[in-house]
Amino acid sequence: MELEGKVAVITGASSGIGEGTARELANAGMKLVLTARRKSVLDEIAEQLDTDVATLDGDMTDEGLPERLIDLAMERFGSCDCVFNNAGTMVVGKAADIDLEAMCHMVRINVEAVFRLAIVAMRHLVKQGHGYLINTSSILGTKVRETTGAYAGTKYAVEALTEDLRMQARGTGVRVCALEPGLVETHLQDHFPVHPKDLLNIKKLVQPADIGRMIRFILEQPDHVAIPRILVMPADQGM
């Protein structure tokens, strides 16, 4: 895809991977639709980007948000060429003490909300005959470590849907990818008693900008090349 002037929708865009990807795609000349819950942060990021940006604050569990995001891209820019389905949260813990309500809310965000946007995006992209859907999975979308089963389960679900949609998209001009980050310098694990980087003795985490470059790499491949999944992790992360 030639990225100059193309349009990307990015969820979870107010920090971390979403923000890092927004900055990289803006540098590539793409126009952006950014969404997250914090409007003031979205607007601040938009002002810093040297491209056309539309923002829409909202909670991904809002059933109507996926349609509004696609509609905003079409109304503002006349196109929607990429959907980066990135918003998510992480709750882990032992069965004896995990917060059940927080766990179930995670499932709503990581599975239900991701599935809704993925399906809405696919309907739009297939109808127009081109585009890219990228769903954020995790290194834990293919394996489990102790106390992470609920979170890993949500990412296994993302992997399954992404692979199905990839097969459904064959011959339509649409490509579908699962992004599988390892440990990234974000706020996702800030609430953990001990950060995984300390448990795993990782000296340098992947940065959001690194993920942004990977997303750009995926999008810039020629039409005959598909990247169904891409794992990005710190060089010294063992699992």
SS3 233: coil
Q: Which one-letter amino acid corresponds to residue 85?
A: N
Strand ranges in the chain using DSSP code E only, listed in sequence order: 7-11, 31-36, 53-57, 82-85, 131-136, 174-181, 229-232
Asked if 51 contacts 76 with a C-beta cutoff of 8 angstroms, the reply is: no
Distance CA 15, CA 2 (A): 26
Q: How do the domains of the chain map onto residue ranges?
A: 7-232
Looking at the annotation, which residues are catalytic? Answer: 151
With tokens 């006349």, the residue in question is 78
Contacting residues for 10 by C-beta, under 8 A, at least 6 apart: 18, 21, 22, 25, 32, 33, 34, 35, 84, 86
SS3 83: strand
The yes or no reply on domain 7-232 and CATH 3.30.2270.10 is no
Distance CA 218, CA 225 (A): 9
pLDDT in single tens digits along all 239 residues of the chain: 899 999 999 999 999 999 999 999 999 999 999 999 999 999 999 999 999 999 999 999 999 999 999 999 999 999 999 999 999 999 999 999 999 999 999 999 999 999 999 999 999 999 999 999 999 999 999 999 999 999 999 999 999 999 999 999 999 999 999 999 999 998 777 777 766 776 778 889 999 999 999 999 999 999 999 999 999 999 998 87
